[in-house]
Every structure is written in C-alpha cells, then in structure tokens.
Amino acid sequence: MRHSEIMQERLRRCVDNEMLMYSTLAYGSMSMAWMYGRFEAGVPPEYFHGKALQAIRANLPQTKSRPDTWLLLSIYAMAITDMWHGIPTMWHSYPTRLAQVDSCLLQSSRTHLKALNALVQQAGGWTDISPYVLESAILADKYLAAFKMKPTVIPVTWDPGPIPPMMYGKSATFGYANLRQSFMNLRIDPRLQDAIQDVVCFVHIAQGLWYSQDALLTAAAEGWLFKRLNALTYRLWLLQLPKGFEDCVRHTVLLFLSSTTHYRGGYMGAAIRVHNLKLAWTESLHWPQDMDQGLYLWCVCTAALTPWPCKDRQWFRTEVRELTSEVATEFLMEHIETQLLRYLYLPDRQEVELQSLVRSLRSSAKNE
C-alpha cells in the first residue's frame, strides 16, 4: 500500500495530537458503522466529530503559511464523516441507522471540503501537499458531487497526463482492440468523443499495468492510475451537454469507470451514478431514430451490471430483458457481450455480473 507510511504516522501522532485523535476516531467509527454495521455502545461517531471540530477551530492557521498535514487530514475526516452519514445508500443494510440519515450533513461535508481547498489554495495549491491528503480529498469530492449533482470543489491541477512515465516507449494496447469502435461512427459532441478516446487509452494502459506481474505496477504507477482515472472522471462530470442521448452516454461512461474500479467505495459510487443515469434517461428529450440499438443496449446493460444492488439497477435490468426478448436464451451471453465490446466493457471486471444478469434473464424467460 503506497500510503502505508503516512497512515502509520497518522496513528502515532494521535497519541499527542487531540485534533487528529478525535478526527481519526470520528472517521474510523463511521467507517466501521457503514461498512460492517459495528457501532460502539454509548460512543457514536457524532461524539468524536464534535470533539474534533472544536480542536480544528483551535488549530486553524492565522496566516497563509503552508497548512499542517494533520490539520488537512482532520478537516478531510470531518468532510467524509458527514458525507457517509448523509447518504442513504450507505445505510440500506442498517435500517435503524438509515432512519437517522440527515441530508443536511451533505452540505456540511461540502463546506468542510471548501474549507480544506481554501487552506490549500492560500498556501499555493495542491502541488506540494501530501499525495495521501490530495487523493483522500479527491474521493470525497467526486462522490459528494455525484450525489448532490453539483460541480466538484477540488480544481484539476493534478492530472498526470495520458501516458505514465514508466510506459514511455511501450505499447499502450493490451487487448480489447475493438473498444470504442462503434463510438467512432457516432455524431456526438467532439469534447465527449475526445474524453471517450482518453478513457479507452487509459483502459489499455491500466490493463497493461494490472497484468505486468508487478514489473511495472509500482507505487508510482498506482499513483498515476489513481490520478488519471479521477482526472477523467472530473472531466466527464464537469462536461456540460444538453439533455439527450449524449448526456446519457456521458453518465454511462462515468458509471463504467466506477463499476470497473474494484473496491467497496467504487461500488457505492457506481450505485450513485446509476441513479444519475436514470435521471438523465428520464429527462432525455429524445434518442435519434437512426441510433444504433447496440448503443442503447450498452447504456442500459452497463447500469444493469452495477455491482451494488439498488432500485435503479433493477429498472435497467427490466430494460435489458425487453431489449433481448427476441434473442434465443442459449445465445444471450454471446449476443450481449458482443454488443458491449463495441463500446466499453471489460470481461475480466464485468463478466461475473453479466453472467448473473444472463442467468436472471433466462430464468425470467422460462417463467413467462
């Protein structure tokens, strides 16, 4: 883990830094609550949160000097704790806690992020800030923006560029050569077309790094993957398009990026993006009459393959069933996978969900 050193130092500092101790306890207890349903009897996360806020106010710098890393981490902890507490999706497995969700905390979370960014900007920007602080802030920022349907707070001054240094002079194609093939024939906004091209380039490079058997997947490569993935996510999120099929495509690409990032937070983010896609879908003014049905299937199927169960995912699964109703059940898997590969689809990351979806479709067909 490339941030293990600073994470260990953070824990050591908690011994004599009250602000860091309480903010870390707030962060840790809320994390344990939403991930595993574990709540400390008599000491809720809100208790630590309140104590941390008092300590943070007492430690705010009076000048524009470079802010202390532990102060920045403590403010981030307040932002992420409020965000976790304020998003209902986080608590569906814990009805008692779900009833206590307060959406006002999402605005509080955004306020903390703005304060964090303001401190950093006053000191000269994110360039010299700890990568651990930056990457933590990016994650909170993008998920909060997606849930609130608002622009992100952190400026994208940290995009590492399309090619990582360790890949200079090496081939960036590692299979899936037909990805994006059908996008090239679409008449869509050039900004969206360029963003999709960069996503495909990122996928090829990421595949090469993931399967390099650790020869290339160094801490520096992991850092590049994280920053480039999120720079593309910010770029797509901030891209303003009129309501219609192009905006649905934009949301589907964002969903693809979340769904193929294998960790719990990525799955939760995917559930939020499925909801965003559903909103874009219902607000879409029209789809062109001559639109390739493969694109339509790719959009609904990408949503149907979301790893985190949610109500909106089921709506898209119903759409997939209608779109494939005339395909013989024994050819469903091949038919869907062939269509998805023409756009954006990674079998090694999405095939398990697709197999589950196909089994469900076959079961429904037998019962009709």
DSSP string of 207-242, one letter each residue: HHHHTSTTSS--HHHHHHHHHHHHHHHHHHHH----
5 is written with which tokens? Answer: 């050193």
pLDDT at 176: 54
pLDDT at 178: 57
Percentage of the chain surpassing pLDDT 90?
56
Q: What is the pLDDT of residues 287-337, one digit of tens each?
A: 777 777 889 999 999 999 998 888 899 999 999 999 998 888 889 999 999
pLDDT at 180: 62
pLDDT at 104: 86
Ranges in the chain, pLDDT < 70: 40-42, 62-64, 167-181, 213-216, 285, 367-368
- Rounded CA-CA distance 243/7 in Å is 43
pLDDT at 85: 87
pLDDT at 171: 53
- pTM for the structure as a whole: 0.91
343 is written with which tokens? Answer: 């756009």
User: SS3 breakdown of the chain: % helix, strand, coil, rounded to 5?
Assistant: 65, 0, 35
Q: What is the DSSP letter of 368?
A: -
